[in-house]
Amino acid sequence: MKLQPRSFIPYIILIALIVSTSALQPNIVSLDWLGIKTNTILPLALATAGQTLVLFTGGIDLSIGGIISVTNSLEATRMSNSVEGVVLFTLGMLLLGLLLGAVNGIIIVRVGLQPFIATLVTWSIYGGLALWILPTDRGNVPQGFIDVLLAHPAGIPVSLMLLVVLGLFWLYLKKTPLGKSILSLGSNAKASYLSGINVNRVRLTVYALSGFFAATAGIYRTAQVASGSPTAGNNFILLSVSAAVIGGTSLAGGKGSIIGGIIGVCVLKLIGDLLVFSGVSSHWAALFQGLLLIFIIAFVSITEQVKRRREGLL
């Protein structure tokens, strides 16, 4: 597969941010710093992984905000303080995320609603459920649960291990029939159908996986902040889309990667750090993130136009 110049953009930006951060704060880049950063980015990276799969198919999943809020609220208030209770409840939350995501897929596939409308509706429903479960920010999270997810076995953060697993998952998935079907569906849904791909099943599976990843993000956030919030997932919606696009995923579908999405998350998070180290208020982070997003979208659009013109001349 021929590499496109735009695929290198997020990596170049990330390297530039790390170099700039190191210049402003010498010796800051270390294993401890890496542990802190991976702990910070992991929830958004997980949410972005699910969002990226949905974007591959030309859809979008706004409901991840509600799913994260529901799982975070339940984990912070209903999980018992025992090994068996923590394990079983967490597995239950993963299953819940899978089911809530599948509901999105069923609505889109069977009812025929556009993904934006369907997931906007379910986001509202799931968000309301989270408010019913936990009206205000609070919670009592078992310390053992926190210790396991924030641990550093052999000096390596669990969060870093999970990011590596997430990257390996993508490398495996894209070689499977399901992964190839997802990318094919995003490139050309009609051609995918004519080639024998069960388009509805792939769409349903993608939204179920998005719900699963949103649940994992909610679970990790619970350990990260040791509390629950009925609005915990709201900020993840636009940030997950932004990270995916910065990482090279096309909003039109069919292009991108989960690894690129992880790089996009790192870029978004490091922009805030760089501003702080530069003496600029972190409140400006959203502005710079937006400008970066506009730049990348414009660059991709221009390169696509140039490519089409060249192909038209051949």
Extract the tokens encoding 299. 């660059």
Question: Could you tell me if 228 and 73 are in contact, meaning their C-beta atoms sit under 8 angstroms apart?
Answer: yes
Alpha carbon distance 45, 245 (integer Å): 13
pLDDT in tens, 109-122: 999 899 999 999 99
% of the chain with per-residue pLDDT over 70: 93
3-state secondary structure the chain: CCCCHHHHHHHHHHHHHHHHHHHHCCCCCCHHHHHHHHHHHHHHHHHHHHHHHHHHCCCCCCCHHHHHHHHHHHHHHHCCCCHHHHHHHHHHHHHHHHHHHHHHHHHHHHHCCCHHHHHHHHHHHHHHHHHHHCCCCECCCCHHHHHHHCCCHHHCCHHHHHHHHHHHHHHHHCCCHHHHHHHHHHHCHHHHHHCCCCHHHHHHHHHHHHHHHHHHHHHHHHHHHCCECCCCCHHHHHHHHHHHHHCCCCCCCCCCCHHHHHHHHHHHHHHHHHHHHCCCCHHHHHHHHHHHHHHHHHHHHHHHHHHHHHHHHC
Residue 289 has pLDDT above 90, yes or no: no
The reply to whether the predicted model has a pTM over 0.75 is: yes
Report CA-CA distances (Å) from 186 to 60, 101, 192.
12, 19, 9
Extract the tokens encoding 73. 């609220």
Lowest mean per-residue pLDDT among 23-32, 52-61, 295-304: 295-304
% of the chain with per-residue pLDDT over 90: 54
Average pLDDT taken over every residue of the chain: 87
Report CA-CA distances (Å) from 60 to 127, 128, 174.
17, 20, 19
Question: Could you tell me if 296 and 243 are in contact, meaning their C-beta atoms sit under 8 angstroms apart?
Answer: no
Q: Which of 219, 287, 271, 266 is nearest to 76 (CA)?
A: 219
User: Which sign, positive or negative, has the C-alpha torsion 54, 234, 268, 300?
Assistant: positive
Domains present along the chain, CATH in parentheses: 5-313 (1.10.3470)
Lowest mean per-residue pLDDT among 16-20, 29-33, 197-201: 29-33
Lowest mean per-residue pLDDT among 11-25, 228-242, 281-295: 281-295
Alpha carbon distance 158, 152 (integer Å): 6
Averaged pLDDT for residues 29-47: 87
